[in-house]
Structure 1
Amino acid sequence: MAEGKLANPGPLGLGGFALTTFILNVHNAGLVPAALEAALPLGLFYGGLAQLIAGFLEMRTGNTFGMTAFGSYGAFWIALASLIYFTRLHLIPADALGPALGITLIGWTIFTTIMTVVTFKSGHGTLIAIFVLLDILFILLVIGHYTGSKAITTFAGYEGILTALVAWYGMWEGLKAQFDVMSTD
């Protein structure tokens, strides 16, 4: 790496997003109900902190979209895990968790819809697919939350697993691009 040149923080951010999304949605799909216990620390550190760091690094590269996406979704994961932990520690009343989670999901659906619309300007197929799938995931989670439908939440879990797989593909693209550049040097 040349002096002063920054590495691409995108694969780190996508990796943190993908793994945390995968684990939480394995739980949502009912495949491994205890996966929530793994998703919470991942939400604080890999999906949260690592994405937040990727967002700060994207700022250094001048990528406003990457900064906004990784910084925001990193903060989302930290906030979501904290909401659940705070409820378990009785710092938030247990009966407040449902309404707090519901309004949080609605807010993130709105944010994700805006980000999704912006991705179409990029013309990058994988990025568009990640955000379209993520937007669908949030919509399904909102519907599942407010209807109480286990079937919708389970379906959302499978759709979230697909979202994670596409994000991992995006991570792979970013990593592969570095080796493609290195092989032409």
Structure 2
Amino acid sequence: MKSAVEQLARYKSVHLNPNNIKTHFVGIPMIIWSLFVMLNLIPVNLVVLPEQGISVNVADVFTIGVLIYYVMLHLRLALGMLLFIVPVLYTSNLVAQHQYGLWIAIAVFVLAWVIQLIGHQYEKAKPAFIDDLNQLLIGPFFLMAEIYFMLGFEKELNKQITPLAITKRRELEAARKAAV
């Protein structure tokens, strides 16, 4: 498994433009939320203990798996992701119970991807997941890292990531020019 530094640097290499990052702060949470609505719509409860008020569905299992992955990458960023995901799980579950929950999720999902693609027009670089599907999981993790950096936390992590990202971006641009 690649380290948090490697994965975040790879992601950041195509997310250096501030306008692109701003669109991602809108688009990625929307994508996550809409996906969780869809996961909540899967009619499978893996554990149901009604007397204790416990029900575990596909969205819950997915969340646990992704959070374990994030913990393996970086504990402090994973804690931030936990704080983000709890309200997402709650609100997406509420919307999934609505008659038009699926249509709401689809509309939000499509709008979010439009926002993401607009961001990459600013960046003039393709999305990171095009070459590595794992980068779909790193996008939210990257945004959490950016929040930490803005708040003055994880300065050492930022010092490791940014130069690597710039180097990777130069390599991508050189490869693109060589291909033309």
TM-score by length of 1: 0.29
Higher relative contact order at CA 8 Å, sep ≥6: structure 1 or structure 2? 2
TM-score by length of 2: 0.29
Greater share of strand: 2
Q: Which protein shows a greater Rg?
A: 2
